[in-house]
Amino acid sequence: MAIVVIGGHSRDVGKTSVVAGLIAALAEHHWTAFKITQYGHGICARKGKACQCACATGDHSWAISQEQDRSGESDTSRFLLAGAERAWWVRTEQGRLAEAMPTIYRKLSESENSIVESNSILKFLYPDLYLTVLDPATGDFKPSAREFLDLADAIILHNKESSGTADWGTDLDRIRQRRIFRIQPPNYVDRKIVQFVRERLESSPDHLS
């Protein structure tokens, strides 16, 4: 069983597109896909919106649901459309992913190979491969992405010429130390990235903590 984690430094940088692209290009791995979303205070993990339900007592601090829709309208639906055998959407209150991990561990163990869209999952497992997506046009840098940047096996970097340049300070030095694949959206996964992932997955021991 192999586990691949796809992270990114901010929202809307192409994480979901990378996951879907790898699922489609490496269909022989029979992927189970996970998307992990962490909400801020006052958002119900079960409903995915603000509410006055049992969240106040912590009863809805996390939720997980299996995607059935293959229309491609949601991120997890895009995973199915790309060829994933199953897709799960995990929602947790910010900082409470640990409470969902026993269920996530079980579903990972039941899967032939898994691909996870998340940074924070790295606090709880060591994957076979971790790729992070960076876009110089987006200045925001998530704390979770910064925390795990040095663990990235490779960086998928938007083409600077088309995207502009963000002021990331010392993070630029850390980025240069990693293997970099430059992309030109809307093409997020090219032949070199696919080959890199395929080679890294030749052996896939169980890395669950």
Q: At 116, which CATH number?
A: 3.40.50.300
- Spatial separation of the C-alpha atoms in residues 208 and 7, rounded to whole Å: 18
User: In this structure, are strands 62-66 and 86-93 parallel, antiparallel, or unpaired?
Assistant: antiparallel
Q: What is the pLDDT of residue 177?
A: 85
Q: What is the pLDDT of residue 175?
A: 85
Does the pLDDT of residue 95 top 60, yes or no? yes
Q: Which whole number is the average pLDDT over 65-91? A: 95
Q: Is residue 138 part of a domain?
A: yes
pLDDT in tens, 155-197: 999 986 544 556 677 677 788 889 999 999 999 999 999 999 9
Q: What is the pLDDT of residue 209?
A: 46
Whose structure tokens read 């959206």? 185
Q: Is residue 63 part of a domain?
A: no
pLDDT in tens, 126-153: 999 999 999 988 888 888 888 999 999 9
| Strand, helix or coil for residue 125 | strand
Expressed as residue numbers, the domain containing 183 is 2-37+78-90+97-200
Domain count, the chain: 1
Please state the pTM of the whole predicted model: 0.86
Tokens of 66: 């299996």
Higher per-residue confidence, 1 vs 170: 1
Q: What is the pLDDT of residue 25?
A: 98
Q: Is residue 135 part of a domain?
A: yes
Tokens of 192: 């070199």
Q: Is residue 73 part of a domain?
A: no
pLDDT in tens, 20-63: 999 999 999 999 999 999 985 544 445 445 444 444 444 578 99
Q: Is residue 59 part of a domain?
A: no
Q: Is residue 182 part of a domain?
A: yes
Q: What is the pLDDT of residue 121?
A: 96
Q: What is the pLDDT of residue 198?
A: 96
DSSP code of 127? -
- Residue 72 CA: distances (Å) to CA of 40, 47, 69, 80, 167: 26, 20, 8, 8, 34
